[in-house]
Amino acid sequence: MGQIFRNKDGKSILMKMVKAIQDNKAYLGEVDGLIGDGDHGMNMNKGFTVFEERFGSEEFGFTEGLEELGMILMNEIGGSMGPIYGTIFTAMAEKGEGLEEISLTGFADILEYALAKLQTIIEAQVGDKTLVDTLSPAADSLRQSQKVGWDLMTAMNAMAEAAAKGRDSTKDMVAKFGRSSRLGERSRGVLDAGATSCCLILTAMAEGIKEMVC
């Protein structure tokens, strides 16, 4: 008990991710407006809402949903977040599609694979004030939880905490990639918008998975 969730039960996890982005559209726009161009909330909301409109009344599993969402972001939204989140979600889908039951080990593999794939298209490392600062510690925490033998529920809480800590860490960083990197010191003191949306997504994912643990 408490060690897996079923891939086929994953629709509600995706719908929670959609809601998290929709609910925070304005907030993400504000965060982005401080050192970016303010369109992050709008574009993320548009992509996630297209997914909801197209698949909200369909049945799909966790990795199927991630694949469809990723393709929408990549092929229909563009910007920099289209290829970035598109790569993350389609990579997660690719790594997990053969799994009927997803264990903590399986989920750690999935997130690590997504991070590795992301780093083939962007050069950002931890500390560069990007969403890597959220995604990387979240993936690390899953592996850590698996090593110490935590159950999936506890591991999800730990992942959400690691993601939030990672997001907060971007506040004191100077941006090295993306549009805000041209600001140098002026980018300090503000959260990174990508790290913020990534935290919202991972937190929603953790909440969704916790409800499906069996």
Partner 1 sequence: MQRILNNPDHIVDEMLEGFVKNHRDIVKQTSHPRVIAKINAPIAGKVGIVTGGGSGHKPAFIGYIGRNMCDAAAVGEIFSSPTAAAFLEAFKAADGGKGVACLFGNYSGDNMNVKMAVKMAKKEGLTVRTVIANDDVASAPKDQRDKRRGVAGEILMWKCAGAKAAKGGKLDEVIAAAQKAIDSTRSIGIGLTPCTLPAVGQPNFEIKAGTMEVGIGHHGEPGIKVCELETAEEMARRMVDTVLPDYPFIEGDEVVVLVSGLGATPVMEQYVLYNEIEKLICAKGIKIHKSYVGNYYTSLDMMGVTLTVMKLDDELKELIDMPAYCIGMKEE
Q: Which residues bind partner 1 (CB under 8 A)?
A: 29-30, 32-39, 41-43, 46, 74-84, 121-122, 177-183, 186
C-beta of 39: minimal distance to partner 1 in Å?
5
Q: What is the DSSP letter of 130?
A: S
C-beta of 32: minimal distance to partner 1 in Å?
8
Closest to partner 1 by CB, 9 vs 32, is 32
Closest to partner 1 by CB, 130 vs 141, is 130
Closest to partner 1 by CB, 40 vs 167, is 40
C-beta of 37: minimal distance to partner 1 in Å?
4
C-beta of 208: minimal distance to partner 1 in Å?
26
% helix, strand, coil for the chain, step of 5: 75, 5, 20
Structure tokens that stand for 29 in this block:
């726009």
